[in-house]
Chains A and B, each alone.
Chain A
Amino acid sequence: MRVAQPIRSVMSRRVLRWGALGLLVGLIWAFSLPQSDGGKVDDTDTIAIMKANFLFHFAAANDWPEEAKVGTFRIGIVGNERLVEELVDKYAMKPIRQQVLEIVQLDKKDVQAGPPEPFCHVLYVEEGQGNLAMLSGALRDAPTMLVSHQPGGLSEGALINFVTQSNRLRFSIDPEEAKRRKLLIGNKILSWAVADE
């Protein structure tokens, strides 16, 4: 039982074409799929994103004495450009109660001799960028919330210190320092604070 010749000859020609196609498929397999790696690591500063949001909450969920509730509300950042960028990008000009939020980028030199000018409601000092004990002393009873991220930050004079627990960014508070500066720490902030290490 054989297929008649005409279609056989047509088919034979196609065999060659199909054979060539099979080879082509192999080549497609080898070269058409992406051989390089799909992506690159996103080098966004994840810690800066979290810190910025924490600092915004510190500004918004705590209360300052009446004399500090005029003009703009300033968060000063010493020595962390990416944190400044994140704050400026997402939070600048947002209202803190009746005040408009201003982000102030500061340098190590700006806090070398004492607190920066103009007055900052929140002053974050990156580790190694300022002398916390000196700053805390120079601020005296001024209503500035001094925030740090370094071991022993609270004992050096910071009111809030960022700490790491189980790979997560958390914060500790010194309530006595808050009282001294006449700052009222909000319940939400207090409830998330962890013990000083």
Chain B
Amino acid sequence: MKGPLHLLVAMMLVLGWQADVVGQSAVSRAVYQWDAGLTDRAHDIISTAVAGEESENPEAWYVLGFFEKEFYKAEERTDPESARREAAWRAFRKAWALGPDEETQRELEAALGYIGGTYFQDALNGLRGFTPAAFDGMSEQFEVYMAVEEMLGKSPQALKIQRAEWERQLGLAFGNCLANERVEGEGAEQEALAAAVGHYEASLALEPGHYSTLYNLAITLYNHGVRQLKRIGPETSMFELMEIQDVCIALFEEALPVMQAAHEAKPERLETLKGLMTIHYALSQPTESDRYKRELEEAIRKSGGK
């Protein structure tokens, strides 16, 4: 007799639980399951709900995003291309667009801040040890971060400054690839140079006259010319020598007004004086080169030789 009795008790318990749960929203049921540790079940409930009757419920989308975010943290935190994080971002965005209530909004903002922070960190990780192949992925990560920042109310001016800084960093990253010869082949070098210059120019369009951007752009252009010249050797024909010289002089001529602008932005900086001295020399303009050399020596003397 014990067997049927146990079955009856179990059925009553299940029915009791069902009665408790029936009538509750999908959101509540999903949260209940989640808190009970049944995370996959909770995810299924809320996914089904947002695909159907809860599709216009911001709280449901927020809960889905929360679950995805937690899965991301548990399973894919080190994956910069995490599908879970992408799903969380989509769900949070949807929740935001549907106009959540105040409490959900507050939690959504914090969740978005977290997600945006992880995207930003991955974009930063891409900058360190940068290779051109990583560019697309890190750009997408940065764009998500910026979208989050915009949603969270960052001012257009602050966003502009951040984007200018990002573009400058990308210019530096491509420039460093060239400087450290991490790109192979003339075509790849040209692409890297064009990318570096393009990002610096994009940064300058947002922050005209920015000293560091101007200086680094000038350095990238000039040093790339010098790298070409350094490849000249006994095997270089006279024709090739003339061709290389033309390419280099064009780069030096491009670098000169940029270095000049950097110098005008911060006339006290020694590195621009040295830059101008060097570029004029490379352009066979000894009088101008000597003028900047004297200015540099004078500036060093005034600073006590430091």
Contact = CB atoms under 8 A, between A and B. Distances in A.
- Answer yes or no: do A and B interact: yes
Residue of B113, B124, B215 ringed by the most chain A CB atoms within 10 A: B113
Nearest to B60: A1
22 contacts: A2-B28, A3-B28, A4-B32, A4-B35, A10-B35, A11-B66, A22-B113, A25-B121, A33-B127, A34-B169, A37-B212, A37-B216, A37-B271, A38-B175, A41-B274, A41-B278, A42-B222, A44-B226, A46-B225, A46-B282, A61-B238, A90-B233
Contacts of A97: none
A46 B281 CA distance: 8
Interface string B227-246: 10110111010100110011
Given A1-B27, A24-B117, A39-B179, A167 B249 contact: yes
A49 B232 contact: yes
A6 B35 contact: yes
B114 A7 contact: no
B176 A7 contact: no
B217 to A, nearest CB: 10
B157 to A, nearest CB: 15
B48 interface: no
Contacts of B281: 46-47
A87 B219 CA distance: 26
B25 interface: yes
Interface string B23-45: 00101100110110000000000
B107 interface: yes
B96 interface: no
Interface residues of A, number: 51
Given A53-B241, A54-B241, A167-B253, A18 B110 contact: yes
B278 A57 contact: no
B258 interface: no
Interface in A22-61: 22, 24-25, 28-29, 32-34, 37-44, 46-47, 49-50, 53-54, 56-57, 61
Given A3-B27, A33-B165, A41 B245 contact: no
Nearest to B172: A38
Contact of A3 (B63, B176, B220): B63
For A12, A39, A94, the residue with the greatest tally of chain B CB atoms inside 10 Å of its CB is A39
A47 B282 contact: yes
Assign chain B's interface to a size class. 35 or more
B252 interface: yes
A50 to B, nearest CB: 6
Contact of A94 (B113, B216, B234): B234
Contact of A40 (B57, B117, B271, B283): B271
Given A28-B121, A37-B271, 4 more contacts: A12-B107, A41-B271, A46-B226, A169-B245
B232 A7 contact: no
Contacts of B127: 33
A47 to B, nearest CB: 7
Nearest to A49: B229
A7 B34 contact: yes
A15 B241 contact: no
A92 B199 CA distance: 42
A40 B222 CA distance: 10
Contacts of B120: 25, 28-29
B175 A39 contact: yes
A192 B230 CA distance: 21
Contacts of B278: 41-43
B229 A41 contact: no
A164 interface: yes
B126 interface: no
Nearest to A58: B238
Nearest to A36: B212
B124 A189 contact: no
Contacts of A57: 238, 241
B172 A15 contact: no
